[in-house]
Structure 1
Amino acid sequence: MTVDESHETGPATPNPVTGPADIFETFAQIGYGPAHHDGAELVVELPVAPHVVNTRGGIQGGLLAAMVDIVAGQHAVEGRPAETGVVTSDMNIRFLRPISEGAARARSRVLHSGRRSVIVQVNIFGTRPEKLAVTATVDFAILTGPNGGRPGRTG
């Protein structure tokens, strides 16, 4: 699945016994928008909503950290052969200010792409006002093998 193909028809109804069909359905249920390109950057948004804010009214930090990993991981795997996958090996994140209105907009760019690793920079901006709220660098190890080095996956 390419980044822009994720749930073009909307997320499927989750099975009450097994839960969401895949990770992208889980992201959609939380409220993360589909990733799209803006030049060389990959962009994902998460609107401020009651189910994603902390007791102070800002988007919960763990959801922003997950957002960093989501957009960086999608960007790191783009253009790689099907038998190649990536796993997060290190994440450095700084929370600069809360995002309490509008949406969080993550913008990623690949800093390094080699044979064994990929490094992605992610900045998350609030949309009201448009100010830098989170900055992060994520390192990925590249795995090769059947199904991108993912055991038990068939597709």
Structure 2
Amino acid sequence: MSSSEFRHVVRLGGRDLNGKKKVLAALADIKGIGFSTANAVLNKLNIDADVRLGSLSENDLNRIDDYVRNLQSKVEFPYLLNRRKDPSSGSNIHLIGSDLDFVVKDDIRREKEVMSWRGIRHSLGLKVRGQRTRTTGRKGLTVGVRKGVARPAQAGQPAQSEEAKK
């Protein structure tokens, strides 16, 4: 392919990808497709992973796009799918891009409605997966103590508490 046919921006999986990147790294930039899934796709389609994405032919790009969009029906190994045993349908599916974002937000909303432990942790803005929270995860929360007004004690008398004065 000549340099005039090289595409610097390639549209795949509903996302604009950098054509200067190698195919494996560029596919991993699509949300919902990681390194292992991208490698499996390229091996199945017999496309060299070290070729630049912008130098692929239109036919190869269409094959990759079709395979990525219909991954659940074409992949041999279900562990490559990102949504196995979907709660709503019960089947193995693979989501990419904004579809994945929507489903994850919907799962969190459902957990909150059911008031499961995970839903309660989500609604309180705390860590969900059993991490420690004593010293980490304080971002966004107010941590601090308001200092009270200190008065000097009178000689010979013990200090009185606020409730004893009332």
Q: Structure with the greater relative contact order (CA < 8 A, sep ≥ 6): 1 or 2?
A: 1
When you count helix as a share of all residues, which structure comes out higher? 2
Tell me the TM-score normalised to structure 2 length. 0.23
Tell me the TM-score normalised to structure 1 length. 0.24
When you count strand as a share of all residues, which structure comes out higher? 1
- The structure having more radius of gyration, on CA atoms, is 2
